[in-house]
Structure 1
């Protein structure tokens, strides 16, 4: 039988009624002749509750026990889903990560999948099981301990299973009906895309789009796993949702596929840093060691052997960055005159594989922002992306103006 992977997020399995609704969708695919691997998240809100219990019990917790506790939410959902399918006369069995096994690294709470052996589940399919309900977000370390994959890890689990089993497709069921040209809550003209290339989806996910977890898209692109993003709350057809696929599967597409944004950005500038080899390595090595995720980087023109270094980072990591750089300065590791921090900025990006072959996108983007009176603080580009840092109060205006200018409400 061909294999199909179906992943249901927390809102899709938030209560027993929603689990029954999801189970019916699984039953439809079984009736079409698929052996189905269902990946489930914890019921909506349960992981936060479990994390809260851990923090209340042991603020300086043992990461191994943290994983043992927080992974239990997925175990409950998997068991309930299997029972629901059995009540529908669909042969189903629940599987925890260690039973598959899903082999991971030992980095508790942030483990990475190293291998998924298909043998145990395949043997059960051969014996007549039609659905394997697998607890997402979890695996087993080389030491035999339960591990978890970090937030959004169930998406990664689903793609990894699709790759390991050579699945025909991986369907991700969530609370939205596909991938849009931008957030419909910001632009009423946002349009659902029928297809989007892996590279475009990866850029959008990394730039703030919340539809898919970045690691899952990276994995799908590497192993050519066709992803489909669907709503678990709407009637489905074979063309429903958005297909994330190889660029070659998309006959025609707009130059720009979407506009992404991130509100929670900050800008930091190290003022009057020595302009000499190795300084950037010292600065960003220090920030990396402190667990700070730096994104956009700009070095200003040097004057008299001194320069300014500007970079963006998530707002919740500003304190960590300031502490690390302050300690670096006080220890004599780096000399700078001041550290300037702006917390009221946002990142806005346009993304599209068509930018590879068509010039003028940057010029058009900058003119649109200029016409709206929006000042650009920092610019970065890649082959298929242009990102700018602007004042946060202009973020929604910028998104709407760019969406209109590139006519994203129109299909290619």
Structure 2
């Protein structure tokens, strides 16, 4: 018998029919003899609806009160799912984060989990209950409700799995695993049966949305095995752990779109320092001695302009493409050669752990991701001599 923590996102619990389907999936695990804790998000669209209500009252809502409001979405879902499980004859108890006692810091709207108390969870599990927990929320030392930021239910699930010493944390979503690149962009993308935590962290940081970055980092630091599974079909999904050995340099291609390249009329050091103070982890680089180029998400442009005192000008729409893998730095020359074949221009390039990233014009995104995926992932897997991949 294993102890499983299963997390279902907003799409998976988007309506009553899907909540009923989640109940059946949870029951299947329970019938196999496993203890199960279920973590759920608000129903699809509910958090945005609540945020819209708040902005009808105040364009910049009080952060504390916004967390009180946004946390209600998950409370609806846990009650409905517990009802569906009880109706089927399986004892289930819903719990808010406060009832579990999930303690966070006091960073409203983007809190971090400090501790999960396990006494209440363990008591219910030992009594044979399925425990259904509200994701995305916690409580700080001042007894205030907090929320964990976008995608925070993943982090709730991982934190509970860590605290309980669960055998596996299973993240159920609308795709059946982690792919070599976004399958919506590249039809040849394939599902990975396993992926190393370091590679998954890089994929999440640079655009893969299947797992939220904070949750992957938490799972990695607390040694929690993760598995990504489909809510809508059976399968083994993708296991994220530390024992994976990849056959070629590039595991996949991560894509970040909907970005802008912005010129700031200020020296690089000044802009970089200001971005740090604002909490931006933006890619920026010097264009001239008195000008800096900054890559920012479309949705963050207004906040960027508000936070910088220097004049800004939008240069272009851009995308970031990142080759991810343990040995991708060997591919730098080959990467430039591959893009030159397509006639594509690289604005800028940077390296980080297990990642080689390029900045290109957004109009070239589809051509570039198709070509990079085929060259460094699909074709590379058919080659026996890995060293050849590094030759341009």
- Contact residue 252 and residue 377 of structure 2 kept, 8 A: no
Q: 2:336 aligns with which of 353, 366, 371?
A: 366
- Number of residues of Structure 1 aligned to a counterpart in Structure 2: 382
Question: In structure 2, what is the equivalent of residue 335 of structure 1?
Answer: none
- Decide whether the 8 Å contact of 2:196 with 2:245 is kept in 1: no
Superposed CA deviations along residues 118-170 of structure 1, whole A, max 9, x for unmatched, are: 111112222x2331100000111111121111110100101111111110001
Contact conserved, 1:40 with 1:133, CA < 8 A, in 2? Answer: yes
Give the match for residue 285 of structure 1.
Answer: 273
- SS of 2:178 mapped into structure 1: coil
Gaps spanning 5+ residues in structure 2: where?
383-392
The aligned counterpart of 1:341 is: 314
What is the SS of the residue equivalent to 1:143?
coil
1:384 aligns with 2:354: yes
Alignment deviations for residues 273-317 of structure 1 (CA, whole Å, 9 cap, x no partner)? 4xxxxx61x32222233443312x3336x8xxx465333222333
- Residue 340 of structure 1 deviates from its aligned partner by 4.7
Cα separation, 2, equivalents of 1:213 and 1:264: 18
Give secondary structure in 2 for the equivalent of 1:221.
Answer: helix
* Alpha-carbon displacement from aligned partner over 1:331-367 (angstroms, at most 9, x marks no partner): xxxxxxx7553232111111012437xx3x1111111
Which residue in 2 is equivalent to 1:256?
250
Give the structure with higher Rg (CA): 1
SS of corresponding position for 1:80: helix
Q: Verify: 1:355 aligned to 2:328, yes or no.
A: yes
Indicate the residue corresponding to 2:79 in structure 1: 79
Q: Quote the Cα distance in structure 2 between the aligned partners of 1:314 and 1:271.
A: 19
**Correspondence for 1:245:** 241
TM-score in terms of structure 2 length: 0.92
Distance 1:160-1:405 versus aligned 2 partners, 3 A rule: same
- In 1: Cα distance, 2:15 partner to 2:8 partner: 12
The one of 293, 307, 311 aligned to 1:310: 293
Change in Cα spacing, 1:57 to 1:169, as seen in structure 2 (3 Å) is same
Matched, 1:174 2:161: no
Tell me whether 60-69 or 88-97 shows the greater mean CA deviation: 60-69
- Counterpart Cα distance in 1 of 2:70 and 2:290: 47
Is the counterpart of residue 66 in structure 1 residue 69 in structure 2? no
Counterpart secondary structure, 2:133 = strand
Q: Tell me if 1:163 matches 2:162.
A: yes
Q: 1:57-111 deviations in whole A, cap 9, x for unaligned? A: 3334222221111111101110111111111221110000101100011111111
Which residue is equivalent to 2:363?
A: 393
> Which of residues 285, 301, 322 is equivalent to 1:298?
285
Normalising by structure 1, what TM-score?
0.88
Is there any run of 5+ residues in structure 1 with no aligned partner, and where? 274-278, 330-337
Displacement after TM superposition at 1:13 (Å): 0.8
**Larger deviation: 338-347 or 80-89?**
338-347
